[in-house]
Amino acid sequence: MSVIVAIAGATGAVGTELIKLLELRNFPVKDLRLLASKRSVGKKLIFAQKEIEIQELTEDAFEGIDIAFFSAGASRSLEFCQAAADAGTVVIDNSSAFRMDDGVPLVVPEVNPDAAFDHKGIIANPNCTTIQMLVALKPIHDYSKIKRVIVSTYQSVSGSGASAIVELENQTKAWVAGQTIEKNVYPVQIAFNVIPHVDVFMDNGYTKEEMKMVNETRKIMSAPDITVSATCVRVPVFRAHSEAINIETEQEVSVDKAYELWEKAPGVTIKDNREPAGYPVPHEVSETFDTYIGRVRKDISCKNGLAFWVVADQLFKGAALNAIQIGELLLTRENGIRGSR
């Protein structure tokens, strides 16, 4: 079954990765339409060795489209996703616009694949930090329910978009040359620094990014009683997010048992040798598909505790890849695309 696909926000950091991954994964694209703001109209991008001209993202742009991947930001998703769904298109939205809506499934294919088929035209792609954490948590949770999660993230600048990648590069060059470092994307210098502040602060002292990990975890895992505390930090890494995770389970999960569960789990690679370079790091994980786990050990601070390190490419598994995997999932059933409407 080949389908007509649109990418809304095709010129952005995630949009360009979507184009790349559609080709890398041999997604059955019959025709591809690239949509963006008016200022990008007429520009051309390459897909399958062909130039495709960018068209303007409008409410009327989705006629005949089977699947639309949205990566244009929450405000544009709120403006255009429903129009696309009304035109008979299945929307897979990468923004935060619909994630917590009761009528919109929030899907990580390795975690809750069946939820993808309970849609009314819009499916939400979770936050990048939530995705990679839950790929690691789900096999453990299925074996022994997780009661509590403490997570600290080390998030690459790719999570802030293409302009942040440029900012880190420019600041690094300026520092080496002894020039003045300019700040535009972040409130303080990101080169050779860490910033314990991702997204806006909430009334409870957590940031919006941190609360996404709390609320999205509960929705995706269908586990409203899981307690989650997150600290999200931006680090001077170009792409791939890392997370230090501590969990407490109802029954003990040994390190060997955790290995066994992860080895059987889809989308997981274990790299855990207790020696220098025996663990996953962002540089080597960039532009790979899996979620990598290392530094696995018993958490000696609590009963039934387990601590581990998780790394995944934010632009791939944390965004574009997860969205495409949702699309691939829909294509496995006849009712995945059009039969639901």
DSSP state of 286: T
Q: How far apart are CA 243 and CA 224, in angstroms?
A: 22
Residues 87 and 174 in one domain: no
- Report the C-alpha dihedral over residues 66, 59, 32, 121, rounded to 10 degrees: -20
Q: Across the chain, what does the average pLDDT equal? A: 96
* CATH number, position 253: 3.30.360.10
Question: What are the residues whose beta carbons fall under 8 Å from the beta carbon of 98, sequence distance 6 or more?
Answer: 77, 81, 104, 122, 124
Q: Does residue 280 have a pLDDT over 80?
A: yes
Beta strands in 169-257 (DSSP E): 227-234, 241-249
- At residue 336 the predicted structure's pLDDT band, cuts being 50, 70 and 90, is confident
Residues 253 and 187 in one domain: yes
Which residue(s) pair with 68 in the sheet? 6, 91
Tokens of 245: 């995770």
Residues 229 and 325 in one domain: no
Query: pLDDT at position 341, please?
Result: 36
Q: Tokens 């619909």 appear where?
A: 98
Residues 190 and 262 in one domain: yes
Residues 149 and 116 in one domain: no
SS3 assignment, position 198? coil
CB atoms within 10 A of CB 307: 18
- At residue 69 the predicted structure's pLDDT band, cuts being 50, 70 and 90, is very high
Q: How far apart are CA 285 and CA 270, in angstroms?
A: 12
Q: How far apart are CA 148 and CA 7, in angstroms?
A: 37
Torsion-angle region of residue 195: left (phi > 0), alpha (psi -120 to 50) or beta?
Answer: beta
Query: pLDDT at position 339, please?
Result: 39
Q: Does residue 134 have a pLDDT over 80?
A: yes
Q: Which residue type is seen at 161?
A: G
Q: How far is CA 8 from CA 49, 89, 282, 322, in A?
A: 20, 12, 28, 16
Domains: count for the chain: 2
- Greater pLDDT, 336 or 202: 202
Q: How far apart are CA 122 and CA 105, in angstroms?
A: 8
Residues with catalytic annotation? Answer: 128, 241
Q: Does residue 37 have a pLDDT over 70?
A: yes
**What does the DSSP assignment read for 320-331?**
IHHHHHHHHHHT
Residues 225 and 150 in one domain: yes
Residues 242 and 225 in one domain: yes
Q: Does residue 92 have a pLDDT over 60?
A: yes
- The answer to whether the beta carbons of residues 174 and 181 sit under 8 Å apart is yes
Q: What is the mean pLDDT of residues 287-300?
A: 98
Q: What is the mean pLDDT of residues 11-35?
A: 96
Residues 38 and 95 in one domain: yes
* CATH number, position 21: 3.40.50.720
Which residue(s) pair with 67 in the sheet? 5, 90
Q: Which residue type is seen at 197?
A: H
Q: What is the mean pLDDT of residues 65-78?
A: 96
Query: pLDDT at position 161, please?
Result: 87
- At residue 15 the predicted structure's pLDDT band, cuts being 50, 70 and 90, is very high
Residues 240 and 167 in one domain: yes
Domain extent at residue 174:
130-314
Residues 212 and 267 in one domain: yes
Percent residues over pLDDT 70 in the chain:
98
Torsion-angle region of residue 199: left (phi > 0), alpha (psi -120 to 50) or beta?
Answer: left
Q: Tokens 């909430």 appear where?
A: 202
Question: What are the residues whose beta carbons fall under 8 Å from the beta carbon of 28, sequence distance 6 or more?
Answer: 1, 2, 3, 331
Residues 307 and 323 in one domain: no
The percent helix, strand, coil of the chain (3-state, each to 5) is: 35, 25, 40
Question: What are the residues whose beta carbons fall under 8 Å from the beta carbon of 281, sequence distance 6 or more?
Answer: 242, 311
Q: How far apart are CA 211 and CA 201, in angstroms?
A: 10
Q: Using one digit for the tens of pLDDT, what is the confidence trace for 202-254?
A: 999 999 999 999 999 999 999 999 999 999 999 999 999 999 999 999 999 99
Q: Does residue 175 have a pLDDT over 50?
A: yes
Residues 162 and 217 in one domain: yes
